[in-house]
Amino acid sequence: MLNGILVIRKEQDYTSNDVVAKLRGICRQKKIGHTGTLDPNATGVLPVCLGNATKLCDMLTDRSKEYIAELTLGITTDTQDIWGQVLTDSGEKWRELSEEEIEKTVASFRGKQQQIPPMYSALKVNGKRLYELARAGTVIERKAREIEIEEIELLPPEGCPETMAHRAAYFSILPKLRIRVVCSKGTYIRTICQDTGERLGCGAVMSSLVRTRVGNFRLEDAYTLSEIEKIRDSAGLESVLIPVDECFGAYPAALVREDAVRFLKNGNELRLSMAEMTGEEKKGFAALEEGSPVRIYDRNKIFYGVYLLQKQRQVLKPWKMFLPV
């Protein structure tokens, strides 16, 4: 069984579940899960966890994400994107907007804020997906959720030479605008686009979306499904499979004594005397703070999981276990 993470470049018209289903066939194993829904019309980074890495799915979903979106001014739709039914059309009212007004409005989304999830979303309410209710013509009240826009900025047109990527170029494709957004889990870029149009007074929809980063996983390191299939038949999937422990690379590491491996395999606590810090962490556990996470390996450098340091009790307590299979 393969254990690790494949960074998939999801193509348009695939759902996240479609990608998982395809990979089950390509990898010839069932234990596969994705790390968060990406709309069928969106493309870009979709980390997929295989084998014991499926325990990482929730953790990876929580990581910050980066998107490049195109929004189109002048209309609104029921889905907040270009593929929905048009609700309002303000014609060419967008021509009345100044560049400064657009810039200030886009910048106004930075920071923590409350966002109401769109009806056309995969969120569940009373066991039903919101998009299922929306398709049936039912609109229900949704609770606003706190999100954070860490970064948001206007971008020049796609393919614009760097020498021409000045301020004026950003507005050369009006009524379209391109934006880059770095945001927290649960942020709907479609809603950011719609709210931009609302604040500008002319309406707007999202007309394309590319997810360029999830945590440390970037678009330039991602593979399409067809590329993954070719790699399987040539170099082998292990050549592009990211090991589970790389997701915890910021944590210090420790090796467990040979006679204590049985405690690892049973998921038991470890006495500090059973493990030794490695590499630059030779100062030992005394240099770490209470509750510090530590990567745990056996003497063969096989990763078993992440333990939490409990200095008062002089033990390492299991937190996230990834027993070899």
Mean pLDDT of 100-120: 95
CA–CA distance, 256 with 275 (Å, rounded to integer): 4
Contacts of 250 (CB under 8 A, 6+ apart): none
High-pLDDT (> 90) share of the chain, %: 75
Q: What angle do CA 63, 67, 72 make, to 5 degrees?
A: 145
pLDDT of 207 strictly over 60? yes
Quote the mean pLDDT of the chain.
92
Mean pLDDT of 238-254: 93
Greater confidence (149 vs 171) lies with 149
Q: What is the DSSP string of 214-232?
A: ETTEEGGG-B-HHHHHHHH
Q: Which whole-number Å values give the CA distances from 279 to 64, 242, 283, 290, in the listed order? A: 29, 21, 10, 20
Contacts of 67 (CB under 8 A, 6+ apart): 44, 180, 181, 183, 189, 209, 210, 211, 212
259 is catalytic: no
Nearest Cα neighbor of 147 from 180, 110, 179 is: 110
> In the block, which residue shows the tokens 């393919």?
159
Q: How many CB atoms lie within 10 A of CB 246?
A: 11
Nearest Cα neighbor of 280 from 307, 304, 253 is: 253
Long-range CB pairs of 95-104, under 8 A, 24+ apart, other chains included:
95/174, 96/202, 97/73, 97/200, 97/202, 99/167, 99/170, 99/171, 101/200, 102/154, 102/171, 102/177, 102/200, 103/154
Mean pLDDT of 271-298: 85
pLDDT of 325 strictly over 90? no
Greater confidence (132 vs 238) lies with 238
Mean pLDDT of 126-151: 90
Contacts of 6 (CB under 8 A, 6+ apart): 23, 47, 48, 50, 223, 228, 237, 240, 241, 242
pLDDT of 156 strictly over 60? yes
High-pLDDT (> 70) share of the chain, %: 97
Mean pLDDT of 47-51: 95
pLDDT of 205 strictly over 60? yes
Q: Among 13, 18, 39, 89, which one carries the catalytic annotation?
A: 39
Show the domains of the chain with their CATH numbers.
4-63+216-242 (3.30.2350.10), 65-214 (3.30.2350.10), 246-321 (2.30.130.10)
- Torsion angle defined by CA atoms of residues 154, 159, 164 and 166, in that order, rounded to the nearest 10 degrees: 0
